[in-house]
């Protein structure tokens, strides 16, 4: 093993603000999420670009999504960056002694026009990408990186930040101000603000190179998702549910293939096809398309890009004195060190492998029956797992799906938010709030008791060309009371297969869980109660906790009995079917845990290994072999399309965070289960909102969890939750 694999320095500098847009982590891009109060500069400058202009209209102003013009994007971004840099220079060169108000608070106020431009940029990037946008994106990526470096490496600015930070250590500020100062100082220090000028220059060059690579990586994935579509004839639909076939027919028609059926290259289309299709060769083709994204030895191949990214990341952190990227990144996460993250994953991995072995044995027994005997391959796993589910639990996933209507699940989200957070959701009249696509719907969020406006919730549920795959939550405006109260504008985005006209949008149980998960992020946004914009940032291995916890309410009796209604008859889901669902709650946990952990372990291995001569294809194959990865399963995100890790740095060495957060999730769920009122216990819900949702990043996550639970979380609840043996050695977080 080389030095990068074993020599970890012990550092703990506190919490780090999350990465936004490619390689940059500096303060100014984080402000994308936080439209600021109007500044003197904004009052005196003629912005002359819609994408920079102050939002008008109801609810404190809303984005002009209906007037977006791509021709305005590049000039808006360039002008916005110039305006913000002017503001930063004024702060850095202020002749007065540095103080919280003239330095930190001034930074919190700066950059509002650019924040707005980046909101539109995000819509084009994630929801409405096009070849024309990608050309602009490639031009802007290095310019954004350069702009970022001009702030993070501004010596005079950092001297003022450092002065305020050191003053606060002698004479502490108010708690929220102290936290803001700490976060901003540590962020700048972590980005190399203390480096000499030569090292700063090289760091800026590296960040610019990385920004280009991240953009190319993302666009290559999207290109393969759009390029590889499997069109079926009617006689190739064997095993597929009728609702899925109708949706696939619409997808084909939308792509100019009337009379055929399209299996598009996204998880929400791939997953049900692999689960139900009787056509094994077609399953293999669809599986291959999906898991080969970015790995087709063509112009969109991402393997060399990965190698280049790893080398540049490694060089950058070496300039700062770290042995590897993971050591640098994790010091301000809950895990603190790569060893702690690996300890957790290694504690779960053996149990997951053991469960996979049993799952494959059960599936192979079914495959051995009948005339066509096959050996289970990755494209067979979902198909035969579904058969085992029916055999063991008499549970048919498609039967469950008939009760999972998207419109009813949306109401289930609102019900849960009302019970836990006292929120009410009211549809906004069509046309009164601008949207960027006809599929997008908007609701106003208010407090049920006072009627006070909380914010707006946008929902963009369906897959379409130009929309990136997966599901995510977005903040267009975050809450703060800094220079006037700002209410929340939040969005949830999914890739459900759009139903045929007149048909109900039916989704799988897994997709329903994801729907609740992403809504958990939105509730985290809405419930924020912080003064300063910086405190709306998060810690990667903690921010998934709140959303993962919300998934638990999908399977509560109140949600099941009220909202799981058959799409044709309107009758509630039968009690016996609910019992089957609960009995099968730990079914297939070997597959689900192993495919996730394989990706998380690979992420950590990539960033604790010397990348000098790395070949991603070979490294992935050999590393998985060392881990004894079952040949019947692949990583949830193979390296060439691992966008979490290689399209930016938000999840780089942070994908383990879902598991870290799930330790908290399982433990917190037991707190509700043990309470007199169960998952709707008012006292536990109040503590949940007070300590785990409302503070955002104004409080250390470990301290916040102890205030909620009265102790640290342990791994025991997670292992019980997944049906795995509880380890003898206690592992605390």
Contact yes or no for 363/541 (Cβ under 8 A)? no
pLDDT at residue 16 greater than cutoff 60: no
Taking only the tens place, the pLDDT of each residue in 281-316 is 999 999 999 999 999 999 999 999 999 999 999 999
Asked if residue 550 belongs to a domain, the reply is no
Q: Are 36 and 112 in contact (CB under 8 A)?
A: yes
pLDDT of residue 727: 78
Q: Is residue 522 part of a domain?
A: no
Asked if residue 335 belongs to a domain, the reply is: no
Provide the pLDDT confidence category of residue 12 given band limits of 50, 70 and 90.
very low
Helix (H, G, I), strand (E, B) or coil at 480: strand
Alpha-carbon distances, residue 545 vs 188, 408, 662 (angstroms):
26, 25, 6
Under the banding of pLDDT at 50, 70 and 90, the label for residue 332 is confident
Task: For residue 256, give its domain range.
Answer: 228-291
State pTM to two decimals. Answer: 0.86
CA distances from 450 to 414, 423, 445 (A): 17, 10, 12
Q: For 732, which DSSP code?
A: B
Check residue 11 and give its pLDDT. Answer: 28
Neighbours of 13 (CB within 10 A): 13
Residue 262, phi then psi, degrees to nearest 5: -105, 125
4 closest CA partner among 606, 603, 600, 602: 606
Going by C-alpha positions, the residue among 187, 142, 113, 190 that lies closest to residue 22 is 142
Q: 248 in a domain, yes or no?
A: yes
What local confidence, expressed as pLDDT, does residue 731 receive? 60
Mean pLDDT across 514-533: 97
The reply to whether 374 falls in a domain is: no
- Residue with the bigger pLDDT between 540 and 201: it is 201
Alpha helices in 65-154 (DSSP H): 73-92, 106-109, 112-126, 131-152
Q: pLDDT-derived band of residue 370, with 50, 70 and 90 as boundaries? A: confident
Identify the pLDDT of residue 650: 84
With contact defined as beta carbons under 8 Å apart, do 203 and 195 qualify? yes
Q: Tell me how many domains the chain contains.
A: 1
Report how far residue 672's alpha carbon sits from residue 685's, in angstroms, rounded to the nearest whole number.
8
Q: Could you tell me if residue 262 is left (phi over 0), alpha (psi between -120 and 50 degrees) or otherwise beta?
A: beta
Confirm whether 162 is domain-assigned.
Answer: no
SS3 of residue 678 by DSSP:
helix
Compute the average pLDDT of residues 400-415: 98
Query: What confidence tier does 179 reach under pLDDT thresholds 50, 70, 90?
Result: very high
Q: Give the mean pLDDT of 321-341.
A: 94
Find, among 496, 545, 491, the residue nearest to 713 by Cα.
Answer: 545
DSSP secondary structure, 35-67, as one string: PPPP-HHHHHS----TTTSPPBSSTT-B--GGG
Report CA 365 to chain centroid distance, whole Å: 38
Does residue 507 contact residue 401 with C-beta atoms inside 8 Å? yes
- Does some domain include residue 697? no
Tell me whether residue 206 is in a domain: no
Looking at the DSSP bridge assignments, the partners of residue 444 are: 426, 456
Burial zone of 23 (CB within 10 Å; 0-12 exposed, 13-18 middle, 19+ buried) = buried
Containing 182, the helix (H) or strand (E) segment is: helix 175-190
d(C-alpha 486, C-alpha 490), whole Å: 13
523/532 Cα distance (integer angstroms) = 19
Each residue of 663-693: b (16+ CB within 10 Å) or e?
bbbbbbbbbbeebeeebbbeebbebbbebbb
Angle between helices 131-152 and 197-227 (to 10 degrees): 160
Neighbours of 307 (CB within 10 A): 18
Note the pLDDT tens digit of each residue in 599-629: 999 999 999 999 999 999 999 999 999 999 9
| pLDDT (0 to 100) of residue 729 | 61
Residue linked to tokens 């503590």: 687
User: Rounded CA gap, 594 and 37, in Å?
Assistant: 46
CA 479 – CA 519 distance, rounded (Å): 17
Q: What is the helix (H) or strand (E) element at residue 224, kind and residue range? A: helix 197-227
Percent above pLDDT 70 for the chain = 93
552-574 per-position pLDDT tens digit: 999 999 999 999 999 999 999 99
The DSSP bridge partners found for residue 480 are 486
Q: Is 306 helix (H, G, I), strand (E, B) or coil?
A: helix
- Walk across the sheet containing 453-462 and list its strands: 423-427, 441-447, 453-462, 488-496, 472-477
CA atoms within 13 A on the CB side of 697: 28
Q: Mean pLDDT in the chain?
A: 91
């Amino acid at each position: 093993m080389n030095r990068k694999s074993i020599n970890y320095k012990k550092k703990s500098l506190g919490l780090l603000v999350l990465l936004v847009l490619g390689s940059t982590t500096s303060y100014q891009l984080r402000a994308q999420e936080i439209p600021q109060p109007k500044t003197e500069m904004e009052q005196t400058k003629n912005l002359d670009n819609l994408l920079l202009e102050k939002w008008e209209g109801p609810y404190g102003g809303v984005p002009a999504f209906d007037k977006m013009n791509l021709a305005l994007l590049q000039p808006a971004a360039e002008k916005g960056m110039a305006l913000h840099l002017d503001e930063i220079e004024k702060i850095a060169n202020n002749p007065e002694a540095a103080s919280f108000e003239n330095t930190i608070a001034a930074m919190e106020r700066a950059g509002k026009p650019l924040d707005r431009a980046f909101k539109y940029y995000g819509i084009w990037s994630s929801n409405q990408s096009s070849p024309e946008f990608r050309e602009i994106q490639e031009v802007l990526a290095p310019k954004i990186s350069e702009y970022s470096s001009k702030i993070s490496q501004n010596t005079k600015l950092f001297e003022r930040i450092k002065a305020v930070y050191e003053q606060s250590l002698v004479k502490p500020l108010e708690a929220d101000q102290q936290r803001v100062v700490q976060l901003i100082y540590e962020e700048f220090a972590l980005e190399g603000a203390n480096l000499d000028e030569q090292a700063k220059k090289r760091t800026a060059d590296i960040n610019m190179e990385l920004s280009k690579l991240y953009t190319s990586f993302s666009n290559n994935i999207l290109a393969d998702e759009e390029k590889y579509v499997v069109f079926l004839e009617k006689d190739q639909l064997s095993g597929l549910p009728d609702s899925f076939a109708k949706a696939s027919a619409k997808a084909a028609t939308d792509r100019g293939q009337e009379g055929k059926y399209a299996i598009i290259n996204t998880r929400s289309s791939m997953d049900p096809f692999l689960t139900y299709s009787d056509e094994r060769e077609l399953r293999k083709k669809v599986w291959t398309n999906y898991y080969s994204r970015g790995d087709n030895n063509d112009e969109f191949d991402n393997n060399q890009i990965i190698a280049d990214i790893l080398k540049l990341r490694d060089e950058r952190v070496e300039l700062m004195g770290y042995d590897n990227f993971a050591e640098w990144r994790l010091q301000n996460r809950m895990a603190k060190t790569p060893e702690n993250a690996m300890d957790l994953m290694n504690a779960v991995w053996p149990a997951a492998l053991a469960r996979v072995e049993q799952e494959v044995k059960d599936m192979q027994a079914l495959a051995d029956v009948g005339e066509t005997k096959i050996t289970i391959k990755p494209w067979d796993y979902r198909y035969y797992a579904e058969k085992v589910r029916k055999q063991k639990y008499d549970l048919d996933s498609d039967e469950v799906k008939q009760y999972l209507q998207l419109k009813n699940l949306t109401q289930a989200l609102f019900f849960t938010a009302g019970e836990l957070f006292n929120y009410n959701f009211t549809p906004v009249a069509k046309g009164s709030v601008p949207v960027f696509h006809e599929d997008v719907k908007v609701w106003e969020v208010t407090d049920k008791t006072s009627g006070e406006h909380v914010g707006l919730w946008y929902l963009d549920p369906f897959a379409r060309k130009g929309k990136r795959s997966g599901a995510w939550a977005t903040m267009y405006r975050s809450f703060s009371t800094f220079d006037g109260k700002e209410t929340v504008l939040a969005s949830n985005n999914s890739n459900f297969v759009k139903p045929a006209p007149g048909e109900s949008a039916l989704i799988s149980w897994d997709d329903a869980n994801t729907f609740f998960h992403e809504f958990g992020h939105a509730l985290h946004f809405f419930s924020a109660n912080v003064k300063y914009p910086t405190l709306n940032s998060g810690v990667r291995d903690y921010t998934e906790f709140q959303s993962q916890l919300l998934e638990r309410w999908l399977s509560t009796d109140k949600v099941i009995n009220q909202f799981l209604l058959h799409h044709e008859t309107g009758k509630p889901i039968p009690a016996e079917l609910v019992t089957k669902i609960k009995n099968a709650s730990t079914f297939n946990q070997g597959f689900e845990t192993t495919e996730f952990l394989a990706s998380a372990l690979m992420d950590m291995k990539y960033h604790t290994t010397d990348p000098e001569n790395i070949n991603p294809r070979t490294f992935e194959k050999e590393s998985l072999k060392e881990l004894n990865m079952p040949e019947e399963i692949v990583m949830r995100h193979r390296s060439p399309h691992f966008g979490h890790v290689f399209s930016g740095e938000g999840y780089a060495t942070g994908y383990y965070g879902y598991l870290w957060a799930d330790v908290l999730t399982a433990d917190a769920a037991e707190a509700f289960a043990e309470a007199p009122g169960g998952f709707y216990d008012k006292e536990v819900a109040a503590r949940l909102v007070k300590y785990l949702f409302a503070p955002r990043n104004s409080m250390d996550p470990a301290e916040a969890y102890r205030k909620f639970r009265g102790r640290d979380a342990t791994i025991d609840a997670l292992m019980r939750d997944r049906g795995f043996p509880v380890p003898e050695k206690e592992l605390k977080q």
